[in-house]
Amino acid sequence: MKTMSKIQAALAAINWPDNLILAVSGGVDSTVLLHAFKQFRPQQALTVAHVNYHLRPESDGDAAFVEELAQQHGYPFVQKDCHLTGTGIEEKARDLRYAFFHELAQQYRSAGIVLAHQADDQAETILLKLIRGGDLASMTGMAQQDGLLYRPFLGISRAEIATYAQEEGLAWREDWTNHDPEYTARNRVRLQILPALDELNSRTSQHLNQFGQELDHKLDLLKQQAELYLPQFQTDYQQVPEAWWPEVSRLLIQKAGLYKIKKEQLNQISDLLHNRQKAQGEIDLGQAWRFVKNYHQVGIKNAKNFAKRAEERPSIVLELDQWQFFANNWVKWTQKPPEPGFDTLALPSSNDFKGLRLRYGRPQDRLNLKQGHKSLRRLWIDEKFSNDARRSTWVLANSCTDDLLAVRLSEKRWRFNQNFTTDSITKPSWLVWRIEEKPSE
């Protein structure tokens, strides 16, 4: 009765969504989970999901058992068949079933996928991670709720679940591969390592679970402080205590949607931030993502967005009083005073001036000054432009000679070629632009 109350309390402790996908393999854990939902939450709408990997002769029997179980309880049943080959079967199977469960959740408009992982599974997971090594964040166990995933049995042991099954007279399927220590690393931990540790302390699994819970709590505190540091870190990382750079870097990367962060990458980021001789730099995060340092500023970018060289990207010759499209903006060169609500640049005009080209800047472009000239590359350095800002720098050039006339330094600031600004002005004109649908003429 005590075990039944514990399982009932575990289900009652969660605020369940209206519609659930329940993953059932046919083993004792998921069989008990299905039975518990029927017994303690009979009004809960759920769909029973099963994956048949066809890896064992008994696989079809497992699928038939789960389907019959679902029918007995009055739940819809959905099965996915697959045939896995090659190496890394365990990882492939895991990726496949999670993808299947998420597909079902989308198909059935479900906000919850329920899994039968229990306390001993959690202990095995944490111990495996400790053995494999990594930073603290990689040592955590499974979360009771993680996105759509729910694991109500993480506080219940395998023995308690077996007791419930026996008391309720439940039948289930046994997978012989779970009893082969050579089949997977997890099996070896379950069948050999944890029993050996239990000889030293019979509460080993319980202590591993407690360690996981305390680690989650400490990491949550670290994340809360990192959140406070993050805005300052992005604008001037040197104002944040150095001890916090790895944690805030991790949070910045996670906010970009990247969660598989390697310790080696964090070490490379730390080296880059400490290198005062390198004002700019990038660290590869995989899948075209980069951690970027630009003087005292840091950020995350996707390199796919900047794959083209400036010389290969579009340029336009501006036609007077005609709206044209450039760099996600509608732009116009006009001699009529612009209407309010547009970004504008007042341009000088001269007798020698025939037309304008709007394009992206190139490092070799030169801007004439009162004394000598300055390359655009040098101007970028002086202005502390990031690599991304350099790639997206607008310049105005003479449409005939392509000589530089003006450089856009920010949304509201341009720098003119000295010759362009000192020529005798015969008639004013403006460059007008705005990000929106094409303005009316």
In the numeric block, which tokens belong to residue 229? Answer: 């540091």
pLDDT tens digits, one per residue of 53-74? 998 899 999 999 999 999 999 9
pLDDT surpasses 90 at 291:
yes
The three-point CA angle 136-139-301 to 5° equals: 65
What CATH code would you report for 2-210?
A: 3.40.50.620
pLDDT surpasses 50 at 271:
yes
27 annotated binding-site participant? yes
Averaged pLDDT, 214-229: 95
25 annotated binding-site participant? yes
pLDDT surpasses 70 at 421:
no
CA distance to 39, 112, 144, per residue, from 45 (Å): 13, 11, 20
In the numeric block, which tokens belong to residue 408? Answer: 């856009």
**pLDDT greater at residue 318 or residue 1:** 318
**In the chain, where the domains are located:** 2-210, 237-306, 310-434
pLDDT tens digits, one per residue of 77-118? 999 998 877 777 888 889 999 999 999 999 999 999 999 999
pLDDT surpasses 90 at 373:
no
Given the candidates 1.10.287, 3.30.465, 1.10.3470, 3.40.190, the CATH classification of the domain at 237-306 is 3.30.465
429 annotated binding-site participant? no
24 annotated binding-site participant? no
Q: What's the chain's length in residues?
A: 441
Q: Supply the pLDDT for residue 148.
A: 95
Confidence of residue 424 (pLDDT cuts 50, 70, 90): very low
| Residue 42: burial class (beta carbons within 10 Å; 0-12, 13-18, 19+) | exposed
- Label the pairing between strands 394-398 and 373-375: unpaired
